[in-house]
Each structure stands twice: as structure tokens, then as C-alpha cells.
Amino acid sequence: MAESNLPEPKTPLTDSQIPSIATPIIEEPTNELSKLSNCYIPQSPTDFKRKREEKEEQLTEENPKKTKHPLHKTSLCSFFRRSGTCSHGEDCRFAHNEEELQPRPDGSWDPTSKKGKEMARKAGGEESEEGDGDGNDEKSVSVMMTGVMDENGDSQFSKCVIHLSMKWNSDKFKTFLDELGVVYKEAKKKKGMSVGFITFETVEQVERATELLEGKSVGNKTLKVGDVLPRSYDDKIQSAHKRYQNAKPGASEDDENGEEMNGSGSKGKSVCDVVTPLAKLPYAEQLEQKKNSLTKILIKLTRNARKALPRGTALPEWIVNSKERGGLPCELTGIIESPLVNGYRNKCEFSVGYSVHQKPTVGFLLGNFREGVTAVEEPTNCPNVSKIASTYALVFQEFLQDSSLPIWNRFNNTGFWRQLTVREGRKSQRDGDIQNEEANISEVMLVIQVSTKAYDDDLVNNELEKLAGAFSTRAASTTPPLPLTVLAIQDHVGISNVAGADAPLRPLLIPHAQSSSETVLVSDSNEMRIHDYIGNLRFSISPTAFFQVNTLAAEKLYSLAGEWAGLDQDTLLFDVCCGTGTIGLTLANRVGMVIGIEMNASAVSDAQKNAEINGITNCKFVCAKAESVMGSLLREYLDDSREPDDLQELDDPQEQGDILHTSDTDEKRIDPLENGTASVINEMNPEISLNGMKMDTDQARDSNEEELDPKNNCLTNVGNSSNARRHFKNVVAIVDPPRGGLHPTVIKALRTHPRLRRLVYISCNPETLVANAIELCTPLSENNEKKGKIWRWKNMSDASQARHRLKSMPKSEPFQPVKAMAVDLFPHTSHCELVMLLER
């Protein structure tokens, strides 16, 4: 029988002969390959964990005392308190009940424990109170009032209520008190805080309110009434005095007598340091610093767009190429200088208050009010303010020294004099000297903001007449005489000096004063307007209308925007957030039609007048929020195949019927129910138009037969509006939003309309430009479904919010950043305008 080729069976190995799996097996090298490296059996994570646990057990048995934490069992276990269980069991370093709890090395106890609370109460001399079980233990009933009390107020008539809903504001708090029958003098509460403050007139009211509110249940909380520790607003003024007592005109940072700012180590700032922080640098260094700052901000666009890109979506070309530009989304070509560096501001808003030496002053605040800074300093050394504006501020300041009406108190919201606004109108370039700032100013408007509430009309009128005489006298006595065209009074009752569009305005008669010059100083017209020039166009400006503060630099800004927009006569230009129509009107001769959108009615009225003054007939201005009409206007002028029913799809049903201004008509309102015909109705008040003429709704409906003729842009009786409406091959949008950026609805309308291929974005706040560009330029996934509601918006940056809103953006082609350039409209400050071209 042949021998088998099978190997002989080997005897089984014993346990001692089996190598451990956790150790390498080293054999004698038998060939050339084994000489290069030793054989190693990989270990699994479970083996490492088992080995680590064995070592820990061995260490614990050998020296158990070394494993205890110095604070072992000195704090209560949060897991055990929440759920009643703890995964660590008995080996948990934290105590699971009061019996296990041990004192800390310094003799104190866990402040959340019963013993810790008892010790804290004994140390503070307070009575023992139980917690509410939710971690919101009752605190001291004496609460420092965050809204500072009037120095003449009595603390016994003030109470605070804690554990209120953080969602309540003052109105909701007052409604709650009224429902309970609480009689009070004043009540206030800030949203986001759980404390409200009440002021009473009598002791009986205090006792009755305490009786009604103490222990009252609101939701799952129990209200507590506490005393208020009064804190006079003089404390904050004295604090500001200490911080800014070196803030004197011409004071240097090297002043040996200067004191430091509350331990910050820096000297007190002057008004020049606050308003124009870059004034001490040469202008070339200012521009370089601004360019570097813009570069850092623009890099955020690339970074956030990459984060917002859906998984599986290819990187767009502009993100791929950003590496070659150092992370920039597009090339930042440079920064355009301002033609006028000093005294360039044509609008200055001077606050009325007290200086650090308690002197009535008209000028600029030395800091933020929220930080307790209320001191005001004269603007004499601010290089961006013209001498004419500083002179009028000084006249007003001198008048306040002997005025019988008080200055506005920012803490208790009482007083009369609040603010002075100086607006200047310059001559055209062909008539004026650019470098001679004073000779170039031809018109001046003064707007005095007051609060006439609780003051006698006769006293108010008498003071205003004296003030008008003071302004007129100084204007005439100055050599050369100062221009004074309009003097207006604005009555405002709000807390902040920022008045709404509905704040009452009225002209104040300017008396004629004797002058050695034959120049006409004051205007006899009661029309509250001045005029300024951009290029060869003359613009009419009302007291509250927006107009760029640097006229000469604004001309360069608009010229750049028009150059990048690529305009021709078959182009429809949308001027979003148009203000007084400056951008659209300066570019009107290069396009077929301009449509301006602005929510400020007075600014739209100015834009209408500006078109008439300059004989421009291819501009229309819509007075409405851009987010309400942008979509419907794009469909109306760009969709050749639109159906009549499409016009009924407005973005907001409440905004149907938006005011449409043309250069030959008063306001018109798009009525989608009448096949696109227009009716003369004011959106805010259907019975009143901007020119003061009344028209009821029925009369306006009868005028629907009038239609716009695209040839001469005037009203004609056209039966079929669809034939009269002109459509354009090209459409370009230029947006110039406020600092908050574009509304998300406007961004959605701009991105989702396929005919809009070019967008020029002008921004005074590059941070919001980056946020808006994220939504405009980031590609979307194939199935971009709307996500749920995003919470905690307040805690998110603008870029983060944009990334979340992008998830609900309808599928559309993104724009691409092409190039960017800055224009310095604000020399000596850290701000500048940024222009970015977006295309697709």
C-alpha cells in the first residue's frame, strides 16, 4: 500500500504553549521575508479595554486610596437627581443623596444641597426658604432695579415682581396687572427677562398690589414681590465722568494727568476718538486697513458657502478657484478714495445732553447708552463734520443755556429738547469748488427734534420762535453769511431719538435778519426741502429721506455700479431700496426703464420730484416693502407668456395694491384684479394720496381704465394693458439695502427668477452682504426639501441663519461672485461701501 502524502498529525499544544493574543509572536527568521519584520497579531478594541480594566482593578487592590478624587462625594450627582439612576452606580464620584454628601476641603458644602443653601442663608442673614423643585429657587426679595429709577422717586412706592414669563413685554405685563385689578402709576418689563417693575402713587396701592401678586401662580411659576433698591442715574453719569474726564478737545493720550478707564488700562477717549477712530492715521493707511478688514470678511463667504453645500454636491467653480485668491470668493480689486476727506458729511445728527462737566451740550455721545455713557461732547474737532454744521450746533448749545424747557432725560424719558439734525445741499461741480467745503454748501436744513408732550403750547411756541431768531441772527452775522434754507420741528415721544416715518414734522418760520451781505440767506418757501447734485442731476431731499452722506464719493459709487451692471437700452433696471431714486435716476439714460422700490413714502415722493426736476421719463417708483412686491414685478415685466391670473399671485396678500409712482403721475397702485390696470390709491390710507388730495375707493376704481404708455410713460386710456406693457430682453438688479441686508423674501425672488442674470450688490455692512451672498450663490441639492423651524435665531450669526434658510430655498440656479471693489464713503472711520457683482 502506498504511503499517504498527508502530514502526520501533531500532538495538541498545552495552555502554556499557546501564545497570548495580546503579545506578539516572535519566531526565528526562516527566509529572507521574515528577516525584514516580525509577525504581529492585531488586537481588537475589546482586548485593549479588558486589559485596561484589569490594570485598574490591580491598581485599586494595591493602593485604593490613590484612586479617590480630592472632591469625592462633595457634590450631588446631576444624573441621579434628574432621572433617579446613574450608570456609574456605587462607584460614582458624586453623591446620590444628602446622606452621602461630604463637606469640601474648605469646609463648604455643595451650594445646590440643603446644607449649602442653609449656610448661604445664615451668612446672608436671610430666612430659610424652599426651592421650587425646578432649579429656580427663590432668591432674595430685595432685587436691584435694572431700569434705573428717577432720583426724585421714592423706593417705598416701587416693587419688582420676579418669576414672570420671559416672553412678556411691558404691554403684556400691564394687561396682566389690569386683569388682576392692580392699581399702579407705571409698569415696565423687558422681553427676555423674568423681572418686572411697578411704580405706585400711594402706600395703599403698594399693599393691595403685594396682596394680589404675592404667591400668584403663572404657568408653573409662583410670583414673588420684592423691594427695589433705588439707583440714581447720577451714578452712571459719575461713572462716565471718571471714564472720560480726559475727553477734552485736543487732549492727547500722553496726558500725564489722564486717568485710566475703569482698569482697562487705556486713556479716556475724546469725541474724535469715538466718532472718527482712524483720524490720526494718514489717509493711505486708513484705506489699507479697510481693505484688509474687508478681505477677512469676504473669506467668510467662501467658508460658509462650503459648509452650506449639500452632501454629494460638486463644489462650484468660484469656491474651487478661491484657493488661488487666498480664500477670497472673488477678486477684491481695490478701494476707491473719497474726493473729499474732511468735512464731507452732508448730514449730521447731534444729540442734546450734558457733558462730563454737567454743561448742556449739543454734539455726539462719548459711548453707548447701554454701558451707562450719557456724556455728550462738542463736535468741533471731528474732521468729518463741516464747519457750518459745527457752527449751528454751537448756536443751539448756547441757546440751551438759558432755555426754560429741559433737556431730554434718557433714563426717565422726560424733557423737551432731544436732537439737532443738520442737512446740507451742495452746488453742482461746475459751479462749486470741491476742496472749498464751506463755499460749496448752498442750502442748509435744520431739523430740531423735541417732545412736546406735557408742555404748554404757548411756552413751546415762544421757545421755538426764540430759537429760530437765534439761528437766523447767527447765520446773518457770520462772514460770509451762512445758508439757512429750511427750519423744521419734529415731535417725537419715543425712548430712542430714532423717530419713525410717522413722526409729525412741521416747518418753522425763519425770521429775516440784517446782514452786511446782499446774499439771500433764508428761504421764504414753507416747503421742507433742500437740493443736492450728483453729476449733472439735481436732487430734492426731504427731512427724513435717505441720501448718501458723502455726495462726491456717492457719484463714484453709482458710476462703478452702472459700469459693472452692463446696461443698454433693452435693459430693465430694478433699483431695490432706492431711497430718493439716486441710483436709478443717474443710470436712467443708459437703460430702457428703471423701477425703484422703496418703503419710505417721503423718499418715494422725493424720487418722483427728482424725476420731474431732471426731465426723466423712464422711471417708476413703487412705495412698498421690497419683499412684498419684488416677485410680482419680476413676473409682470419679464414673463412674456404670463397669464392674467398670474398677476394675482402676490407675495403677501396684505400687500396687494402697492403704490406705483411715475414721473408724470401721482401715486398709483397695482390692482391685480383688473388685468394689471392701475388705480390711484395710497397703500397706507386708501382715501388720501401723497399730494393731499382725497379720493375714495370707488373713485379710484373708476380710474382703472387709465394705463401707462411705455413710449412716453404717461397715463393714456388703453383698453388692453397686456399690449401696452413692454417686456425687456435683459434685466439687471442693483440692490442697496440698509445695514440689516435684504429680506429673505427678496433674496428668494432674486434667486428663483431665471431671467435675472446679473446682480450688483451695494452694501454698507459687508457682514450682511456675506450672509445674503450665501443664499444667492450656494448650489442646492436635487431634493431640497423645506426643513423644520429653526430655533434660537438670536444666538446665531447672520451667516449661520443664511445657511439654515438655504435649506428651504426652491431649486434654482445660483449666482457666482465675479468681482468686488470698495468705495470709501466714510473717511476717518472704519466703515466703507462694498460693491460686488454677481452673475449666473
Half-sphere exposure of 755 (CA within 13 A, CB side): 19
Residue closest to 491 by CA, chosen among 408, 422, 411, 548: 408
H helices of 662-743, in order, are 697-702, 721-724
CA distance 258 to 715: 69
Half-sphere exposure of 380 (CA within 13 A, CB side): 12
User: 3-state SS of 284-322?
Assistant: HHHHHHHHHHHHHHHHHHHHHHHHHCCCCCCCCHHHHHH
DSSP designation for 570: T
Tell me the three cell numbers of residue 808: 428651504
CA distance 230 to 226: 13
| 406-442 per-residue burial string, b: 16 or more CB within 10 A, e: under 16 | ebbebbbeebbbbbbbbbbbbbbbeebeeeebeebbb
Q: First vs last Cα of the chain: how many Å apart?
A: 88
What is the helix (H) or strand (E) element at residue 576, kind and residue range? strand 571-576
What are the catalytic residues?
764
663: Cα separation from own chain's centroid: 33
Residue closest to 659 by CA, chosen among 622, 620, 690, 617: 622
In single-letter form, the type of residue at position 553 comes to A
Residue closest to 739 by CA, chosen among 773, 761, 766, 776: 766
- Three-point CA angle 798, 762, 753, nearest 5°: 80
DSSP lists the bridge partners of residue 667 as: 661
DSSP lists the bridge partners of residue 541 as: 530
CA distance 760 to 764: 13
Query: What sign for the dihedral angle of Cα 397, 398, 401, 402?
Result: negative
Half-sphere exposure of 111 (CA within 13 A, CB side): 5
CA distance 13 to 15: 7
DSSP lists the bridge partners of residue 730 as: 571
β-bridge pairing 667-670 and 659-662: antiparallel
CA distance 464 to 454: 16
Q: Count the neighbouring beta carbons within 10 Å of the beta carbon of residue 98.
A: 12
The reply to whether omega before 480 is within 30° of 0 (cis) is: yes
Residue closest to 410 by CA, chosen among 437, 380, 373: 373
Mapping DSSP to helix (H, G, I), strand (E, B) and coil, where does residue 454 land? coil
β-bridge pairing 224-229 and 142-144: parallel
DSSP designation for 66: G
Residue closest to 542 by CA, chosen among 607, 602, 611, 612: 602
Q: Count the neighbouring beta carbons within 10 Å of the beta carbon of residue 698.
A: 7
CA distance 808 to 787: 6
CA distance 336 to 823: 5
Q: Strand ranges (DSSP E) for 131-265?
A: 142-144, 158-162, 186-189, 195-199, 217-218, 221-222, 224-229
Residue closest to 497 by CA, chosen among 557, 448, 549: 448
In single-letter form, the type of residue at position 112 comes to T
